[in-house]
Amino acid sequence: MAEKTAQGTRRGHDIIIVGGGPAGLTLAVALVRSVPGIDVALVDRRPLSVPRDARASAIAAGVRRVFEAIDVWPGMADAANPIRAMKITDSGTGDIARPLFLSFEGEVGPGEAFAHMVPNTASAVALLAAAEGQVTLYAPVAISGFSGHGARAELTLEDGRVLTAPLAVAADGGNSALRGMAKIGVFSHDYKQSGIVTTIGHEMPHEDTAYEHFRPAGPFASLPLKGNFSSLVWTETPDRAQALVAMDAAALAGEIEAAMGASLGAVHVADTVQAFPLGLKLARQFVGARVALIGDAAHVIHPIAGQGLNLGLKDVAVLAEVLVDAMRLGEDHGAADVLARYERFRRFDTALMAGMTDGLNRLFSNDLAPVRALRDFGLSVVDRLGPVKEGLIHHAAGADGAKLLRGVAL
Residue 234's domain is classified under what CATH number?
3.30.9.10
User: Residue 119: exposed, middle, or buried by beta-carbon count in 10 A (0-12, 13-18, 19+)?
Assistant: buried
The last residue of one of the domains, among 278, 296, 312, is 278
Residue 405 gets the label, from left (phi > 0), alpha (psi -120 to 50) or beta, of alpha
User: Residue 183: exposed, middle, or buried by beta-carbon count in 10 A (0-12, 13-18, 19+)?
Assistant: exposed
Number of domains in the chain: 2
- Percentage of the chain lying above the pLDDT 90 cut: 69
Type of residue at 160: G
**Does the pLDDT of residue 67 top 60, yes or no?**
yes
CB-CB contact of 54 with 30 (8 Å): no
Across residues 281-307, what is the average pLDDT?
93
Type of residue at 129: A
Across residues 78-85, what is the average pLDDT?
94
| 384 domain-assigned | no
CB-CB contact of 316 with 65 (8 Å): no
The pLDDT assigned to 381 comes to: 47
| 372 domain-assigned | no
**Residue, of 103 and 68, whose pLDDT is higher:** 68
- Percentage of the chain lying above the pLDDT 70 cut: 85
Across residues 267-277, what is the average pLDDT?
93
If asked whether residues 298 and 353 sit together in one domain, one would say yes
pLDDT in tens, 305-356: 778 899 999 999 999 999 999 999 999 999 999 999 999 999 988 988 888 7
If asked whether residues 132 and 246 sit together in one domain, one would say no
The pLDDT assigned to 6 comes to: 43
Return d(Cα 183, Cα 172) in angstroms, integer: 15
The pLDDT assigned to 395 comes to: 56
If asked whether residues 129 and 252 sit together in one domain, one would say no
If asked whether residues 133 and 52 sit together in one domain, one would say yes
The pLDDT assigned to 2 comes to: 47
Return d(Cα 355, Cα 337) in angstroms, integer: 27
Across residues 359-364, what is the average pLDDT?
70
Across residues 31-39, what is the average pLDDT?
97
pLDDT in tens, 148-168: 999 999 999 999 999 999 999
CATH of the domain at 342: 3.50.50.60
The pLDDT assigned to 399 comes to: 65
* Mean pLDDT estimate for the chain: 87
If asked whether residues 284 and 274 sit together in one domain, one would say no
pLDDT in tens, 16-30: 999 999 999 999 999
Domain that holds residue 246: 80-116+191-278
If asked whether residues 112 and 130 sit together in one domain, one would say no
**Does the pLDDT of residue 170 top 60, yes or no?**
yes
Among 139, 197, 166, 152, residue whose Cα is nearest residue 21: 139
Do you know the residue count of the chain? Answer: 410
H or E element that contains 109: strand 107-109
**Does the pLDDT of residue 298 top 60, yes or no?**
yes
110: three-class secondary structure by DSSP? coil
Return d(Cα 289, Cα 238) in angstroms, integer: 38
Across residues 43-66, what is the average pLDDT?
89
**Does the pLDDT of residue 371 top 70, yes or no?**
no
Across residues 99-111, what is the average pLDDT?
68
The last residue of one of the domains, among 230, 261, 278, is 278
HEC string for 219-288? EEEEEECCCCEEEEEEEECHHHHHHHHHCCHHHHHHHHHHHHCCCCCCEEECCCCEEEEEEEEEECCCEE
| 269 domain-assigned | yes
The pLDDT assigned to 213 comes to: 86
If asked whether residues 45 and 162 sit together in one domain, one would say yes
